[in-house]
Amino acid sequence: MGQELTIGRRQLGRMMRIGAIALSLWCGAASAEPVAPVAPAAQHDGAHDFDFLIGNWKAHVRRLPELLSGSTAWVEYDGISNHKKLFGSNSNLEEFEVDSPTKGLHIKAQTLRLYNPASHQWSIYLVDVDKGALSLPPVVGQFTGHRGEFFDQEEYKGRAILVRYVWLDISPHAARMEQSFSDDGGKSWEVNWICELSR
């Protein structure tokens, strides 16, 4: 009986070693199986995101002259906003001119929008052709669907603020742009410019 028990123990030990080897081989083979790489999500090519703006529009503007002061006294303007591509590229230039007859105010402006295909982002510069200057830094950002958001940091009355542009592609006959300032790091925003375009 002792001999049978000894043989049984030897067989059991051998079976356990064989099982362990088989298990390690199976695990090694399973881990060696090639895993299909997960392709990174393709970045949105935003080169045509501003195509909806190309052409001539009527512009209605509401402007808040007193910034970051709690003011609610808006001034309204009407005029034109015309957009064209430059040299067959996706860069575009806006010529903008509005008047407020009741206040005797006039605004003339140009905007240059440049697309960076490497970063998939737009840089938007205000152009002062009378002074021969570009506003720096530009606001930079991109579209998600029909909404584009663009940001920069500037100094206003001695304090650092964030600037945000929001562009909305509403329909072939309607678009909207808002400018907002934040003096609390983006926790809250005060809209100070609303431009509604129609055609």
SS3 96: strand
pLDDT for 93 beyond 50: yes
- The full length of the chain comes to 199
95-112 pLDDT, tens digit each = 999 999 999 999 999 999
* pLDDT surpasses 60 at 9: no
Residue 167 has a pLDDT of: 98
The three-state secondary structure class of 95 is strand
What mean pLDDT is predicted for residues 85-89?
91
Cβ-in-10-Å burial (0-12, 13-18, 19+) of 49 comes to buried
**Residue 120 in this model has a pLDDT that exceeds 90:** yes
Q: How far is it, in rounded angstroms, from Cα 69 to Cα 125? A: 26
Instruction: Determine contact, residues 170/180, Cβ cutoff 8 Å.
Output: no
Mean pLDDT of 119-140: 93
Q: How far is CA 120 from the centre of its chain?
A: 9
CA-to-CA distance for 123 and 140, rounded, in angstroms? 5
Q: In the 8-state DSSP scheme, what is residue 120? A: T
Percentage of residues of the chain with pLDDT beyond 90: 71
